[in-house]
Structure 1
């Protein structure tokens, strides 16, 4: 009985034997006006000291493209550390407003993080179609089945019946898979078309007291 239950569990889990699809990566939502504001802050408050001629702290931002932050991530990480500590611009030098200051720092951090770990998109649960389900049962239980005996036909999209968006799971379909898994489990352990039964033996030393 335990073997049949195990086989049924394997048969149900094999519905999701495949992998999910991933939605396309989303790009930055920064507007042109916001980008121009950040570039103006760098030009007005940073480049005066950090240019090719002065190279304060051995750092030049004069020829660095702010639109390609990820290509100079190490350099911008140094800038971010200074901004976090409030050390740029140095004491006594003109400073941008607090909103502009924090906005530039946060944008640099987010841009580097976004490029380092791109948004993978949304995972779509991908069940197996009937053919894939039969193949999975064969791989897991070494059992040949006709999936049409157990499962309804799959919906297709653009001529394909293995696209995650079309292979949805409804409560009724899930119940069908559970029923199919029970029958397949009986086939796997050699009890096809026979009802299951359980035997419970009462302990002779049990007491109601």
Structure 2
């Protein structure tokens, strides 16, 4: 999920070289729009889901050696380590990428605040709220989280059913947990953007300046 270099923060007041306010607002608008696109674009949620899919595949491969052991499959001695390595190769980069993306989200949030505080441009700032994208993040992430919770609870409820194995339980619980965490990340992003957007419409209004 981490992409190209983020826009730089606005320069400190003592080294700002904008010739006039129009140039300042133009740079501010470009930086805010780029940060909004990178943070809330549809491609971001698709990348998050792809990373979740890769993590599920990796977890499934890690569970395969356990399943072979339970089934007393003689090929497990040869294929088990291979599946384990493949599983780690798929799971580990996904977890690392998500962790880096969460850290990057914090950086983008700080940059958004810094550029927003630089000046006031209510007409442009109102477009940054992106209620449609925020709602899409929220609803889709709630759906993913609900599926993950259902998978986890269903696996736990059927743990003592006839035919259930440790591998089946580990696969179901792990998959459900990955989906639930993926949905939670999306929900937190949507809520944070909503709370940030609440501060945008009033900027630059006379009432806000008087307050």
TM-score (norm 2): 0.26
TM-score (norm 1): 0.26
| Larger RCO (CA within 8 A; separation ≥ 6) | 1
The structure with the larger Rg is 1
Bigger proportion of residues as helix: 2
